[in-house]
Amino acid sequence: MVFTGDEFADGGKTIADALEMNSIKASFFLTGNFYKNPAFKSLIARLKANGHYLAAHSDRHLLYTDWTKRDSLLVSEKEFKKDLRQNYKRMKSFKIRKTDAVYFLPPFEWYNKTISDWTISLGLQLVNFSPGTRSAADYTYPGLPGYKSSEEIYQSILKYEQEDPNGLNGFILLTHIGTDERRTDKFYVRLNALIEELKSLGYAFVRIDELLN
C-alpha cells in the first residue's frame, strides 16, 4: 500500500490507525510542502515511529510533462533536480536520509523516460502505482471529470483481484493521505475494511523497499 500527499492530510489519522490496527507497514511519498507544514509534523513523526517507509514526491508538486504530449517536458533538468533535492532537504528534519528513501514517486504520478533518467542520475529509483484499478481516483470530487465514488473504487480493486491471473500479487496500490474537502465520500474510511477483505484472501502487505528489493 502506497499513499501520496501534498496539501491535504485529513485521512492521516484514520490511515495510521488502520495500518497500526492491522500491523501493516506501508509507504508514504510526501512533497516538501507536506514535510514543511507544521500541522502535519506530528503525523509524520507517528508514521516514522511506526516503521513506515517515508520518501519524496517532489518539493512543490510540479507537473513534469504535458498531459496530452507526454514527451513534452514542462521542467528543465536543473529545475527538476533542484526541486527534488529540496524535497530531500526538508525530509532531513525528520532524520530521513536519502539512503533511507531511494524510491521516488513522481508528482501526479506522471512522467516520461527523461524524468526517469534524471532520477537515476541522482542515485534514486523512480516508481509508480500498478495500473488496473481506480484507487488513485480517490482524490476526485463530484463535478470533476473522472469522479469515482468510494464504492466504485473499492469494487474496482476487488474486480481486478478476481480477474487478473496474478491477482494483486506484487501490486502497488496507491491512494492519497488526504483529499479536497469537496470530496465528502472519503475512501480512506474504508481502508480497514479493504485490508481485512484482502487479508481474508491471503494477502500480506509490505513496504515498497521490501517489495522491490
pLDDT at 213 over 90: no
Answer CATH for 2-211 from 3.40.1280.10, 3.20.20.370, 3.40.50.720, 3.40.50.620: 3.20.20.370
Mean pLDDT over residues 69-82, rounded?
A: 96
Q: How confident is the model at residue 137 (pLDDT cuts 50, 70, 90)?
A: very high
Q: What is the pLDDT of residues 34-58, one digit of tens each?
A: 999 999 999 999 999 999 999 999 9
Domain locations along the chain: 2-211
Residue range 12-30: mean pLDDT, rounded:
98
Percent of the chain with pLDDT over 90: 99
Which residue in 191, 176, 207 sits closest to 4, CA to CA?
176
For 54-88, give one letter per residue: b (16+ CB within 10 A) or e: bbbbbbebbebbeeeeeeebebeeeebeebbebbb
CA distance 203 to 83: 37
Q: Which amino acid is at 40?
A: F
Is the pLDDT assigned to residue 181 strictly greater than 90? Answer: yes
Prediction pTM value: 0.96
Q: Rounded to the nearest 10 degrees, how much is the dihedral formed by the CA atoms of 181, 183, 187, 188? A: 0
pLDDT of residue 157: 98
At 106 the pLDDT is: 98
Average pLDDT over the chain, rounded to an integer: 97
Length reported for the chain: 213
